[in-house]
Amino acid sequence: MNQTQLPPFLDRSKSDACIHCGLCLQSCPTFLETGNENDSPRGRIHLMRGLDDGKILLTDRVATHIDRCLGCRACEAVCPSGVEYGAMLEATRHTITRHRTMRLPQRLLQKVVVERMLTWPNGLRLAVSPARGMQRFGLTRVLPQRLRKLVELIPQKPKNSTSQPSFHQEKIEVKATAGMMSGCVASVLFGETNQATVALAQACGYQIIVSSGDLCCGAIHAHSGNLPEARKRAQRMIEFFENTETDVVIVNAAGCGSTMKEYPQFFSNNAEWRQRAEQCSSKVRDVTEIAAELPASLKKKKQEHPRTTYHDACHLCHAQHITEQPRTLMQEILGNNFVELPESDVCCGSAGSYNITQPELAGRLGSRKARNIIATGATVVVTANIGCIMQIRASLQSAGVQDIQVVHIADWAIQAIQ
Ligand code: SF4
Ligand code: SF4
């Protein structure tokens, strides 16, 4: 890439709040791995400001440090100055995307695989069967490295996929109606988890009256810097739920939920859409918030549970600040068989499409997560994001571990209360 001067793009009220204290450094997974200040929040903020005021030119090296950011927002959660790092990163990526010339393979990966394929359920459905076949027969070795990594992440169909998770109890009173954001990737690869989410919501007194089907919330596009496309997809999602009579919208993917809760930020220059976005966002609840309402009678210990731990999905703990509800639920059901995971809130390397676009660093973070899980002695890992599930399963497999189950909290909870 040549050296490119970027036009101003930052909201300086957000970026100038950084006082360079460095308190965020030890929370940043990429800094923990590389030890390079340019791969830390403080270093990246310095780069972003420099690009914004023209003192730093965009080069491959500068873009690499921004590309390596997971967007996990661990830095935002610990910042004493309230720096809105996530919003700054999206604005920076949006501007870089418009001014950089990507090499063809990188461009195809970003535009075709990440932004199109992953968010186009019919296309994904067509690709999944051959990918699963290649996994079963050990043929993934013939694929180029990045494609191989992607194919190896795809989960095999659960063996008992004919019996869908359900919940039947006549005494549960319906207290509210709910819509389900079923997710473009989840609706293809994690249908059972969506069923479990419906069943869990029913157990908590919600009647699911509508599902968003194949609609995409725009999170992947926003995180990649394609804000116009993210905005379009957000508008479709907002319109969809406006036309329903739901009290809440339940989401079981942390990255999608945090984007949907922050939809108003997409429309800072459009009062009408901002107001419609605010209305939609105010209804969004992560499934862990819903599960916290599970009646006490259902949480009574009915079976002996294996030693189980919990991994915090970044967009659940850092962006939505949800850490207590899943732990309380698990402790109530598991008692002493719940064990805390060291570095539970350090990103596993999934981060949306990060394990596809940055496989080397994603692999290092995945190995770090696997080592921490193995150290707990747990045989079950629960988390609340399908991206984390795929990444942690692949990381444990790479570490040679076959006997640790990685499950979504909706699947785990509905099974635990039966
Ligand atoms: S982002 Fe926040 S925590 Fe990090 S250096 Fe700036 S002010 Fe300090
Ligand atoms: S978003 Fe995550 S990876 Fe990026 S600078 Fe912040 S802590 Fe580091």
Segment 93-104, tens digit of pLDDT: 989 988 887 777
Higher pLDDT, 168 or 318: 318
Q: For residue 340, what is the domain's CATH number?
A: 3.40.50
Provide the pLDDT for residue 315. 95
Asked whether residue 264 is domain-assigned, the answer is yes
User: For residue 17, which ligand has an atom nearest its CA?
Assistant: 1
Residues 79 and 120 in one domain: no
Of ligand 2's listed atoms, the one at least distance from the Cα of 24 is 7
Provide the pLDDT for residue 302. 65
Of ligand 1's listed atoms, the one at least distance from the Cα of 22 is 5
Provide the pLDDT for residue 104. 73
- On whether the CB atoms of residues 233 and 217 are closer than 8 A, the answer is yes
Q: Is there an atom of ligand 2 within 6 Å of 188 CB? A: no
Does the pLDDT value for residue 157 go beyond 70? yes
Residues 313 and 410 in one domain: yes
Residues 227 and 245 in one domain: yes
Of ligand 2's listed atoms, the one at least distance from the Cα of 71 is 1
Does the pLDDT value for residue 3 go beyond 80? yes
Structural domain count of the chain: 4
Distance 20 CA to ligand 1 centre (A): 5
| Range in 26-40, 126-140, 262-276, 378-392 the model is least confident about | 126-140
Across the range 336-359, mean pLDDT stands at 91
Q: Which domain holds residue 35?
A: 12-99
Residues 306 and 268 in one domain: no
Across the range 112-138, mean pLDDT stands at 78
Across the range 315-334, mean pLDDT stands at 96
Does the pLDDT value for residue 11 go beyond 90? no
Residue 308: CB partners within 8 Å, gap ≥ 6? 330, 334, 337, 338, 339, 378, 379, 380, 381, 382, 412
Asked whether residue 3 is domain-assigned, the answer is no
Asked whether residue 159 is domain-assigned, the answer is no
Q: Provide the 3-class DSSP secondary structure of residue 215.
A: coil
To test the pocket of ligand 2, the residue of 85, 348, 350, 364 to mutate (highest count of ligand atoms within 8 Å of its CB) is 85
- Distance (Å, rounded) from C-alpha 266 to C-alpha 260? 10
Q: What is the DSSP letter of 116?
A: I
Q: For residue 34, what is the domain's CATH number?
A: 1.10.1060.10
Residues 306 and 276 in one domain: no
Q: What is the 3-state secondary structure (H, E, C) of 245-299?
A: CCCEEEECCHHHHHHHHCHHHHHCCCHHHHHHHHHHHHHEEEHHHHHCCCCHHHH
Asked whether residue 62 is domain-assigned, the answer is yes
- On whether the CB atoms of residues 166 and 222 are closer than 8 A, the answer is no
- Distance (Å, rounded) from C-alpha 401 to C-alpha 416? 24
Of ligand 2's listed atoms, the one at least distance from the Cα of 30 is 3
Distance 40 CA to ligand 2 centre (A): 7
Residues 198 and 284 in one domain: yes
In the chain, the percentage of residues whose pLDDT exceeds 90 is 67
Of 250, 208, 200, 207, whose CA–CA distance to 418 is shortest? Answer: 200
Provide the pLDDT for residue 171. 67
Residues 197 and 237 in one domain: yes
Concatenating the DSSP letter of every residue in 369-403 gives HHHHHHHHT-SEEEES-HHHHHHHHHHHHHTT--S
Asked whether residue 70 is domain-assigned, the answer is yes
Residues 185 and 280 in one domain: yes
Tens of pLDDT, residue by residue over 222-254, are: 988 889 999 999 999 999 999 998 999 999 999
For residue 138, give the H/E element and its range: none
Does the pLDDT value for residue 169 go beyond 70? no
This prediction's pTM: 0.91
Last residue of a domain, one of 224, 255, 290: 290
Residues 92 and 61 in one domain: yes
Does the pLDDT value for residue 351 go beyond 90? no
Backbone angles phi, psi at 369, to 5 degrees: -65, -45
Would you place residue 378 in the very low, low, confident or very high pLDDT band (cuts 50, 70, 90)?
A: very high
Asked whether residue 282 is domain-assigned, the answer is yes
- Distance (Å, rounded) from C-alpha 89 to C-alpha 351? 14
Question: How many C-alpha atoms does 195 have within 13 Å on its Cβ side?
Answer: 13
Asked whether residue 40 is domain-assigned, the answer is yes
- On whether the CB atoms of residues 157 and 132 are closer than 8 A, the answer is yes
Residue 80 neighbours by CB distance under 10 Å: 10
Would you place residue 162 in the very low, low, confident or very high pLDDT band (cuts 50, 70, 90)?
A: low
| Range in 126-140, 230-244, 253-267, 379-393 the model is least confident about | 126-140
Distance 43 CA to ligand 1 centre (A): 10
Give strand pairing partners of 249: 179, 284
Residues 395 and 345 in one domain: yes
Burial of 238 (0-12, 13-18, 19+ CB in 10 A): buried
Q: Which of 93-97, 358-362, 364-368: highest mean pLDDT?
A: 364-368
Residues 309 and 227 in one domain: no
Backbone angles phi, psi at 260, to 5 degrees: -65, -35
Asked whether residue 38 is domain-assigned, the answer is yes
Last residue of a domain, one of 266, 290, 314: 290
- Distance (Å, rounded) from C-alpha 129 to C-alpha 360? 27
Residues 411 and 325 in one domain: yes
Q: Is there an atom of ligand 1 within 6 Å of 88 CB? A: no
Concatenating the DSSP letter of every residue in 45-78 gives HHHHHHHHTTSS-B-HHHHHHHHT-----HHHHH
Angle at 412 between CA 403 and CA 198, to 5 degrees: 140
Q: Whose structure tokens read 């903020």?
A: 45
Last residue of a domain, one of 270, 290, 310: 290
- Mean pLDDT score across all residues of the chain: 90
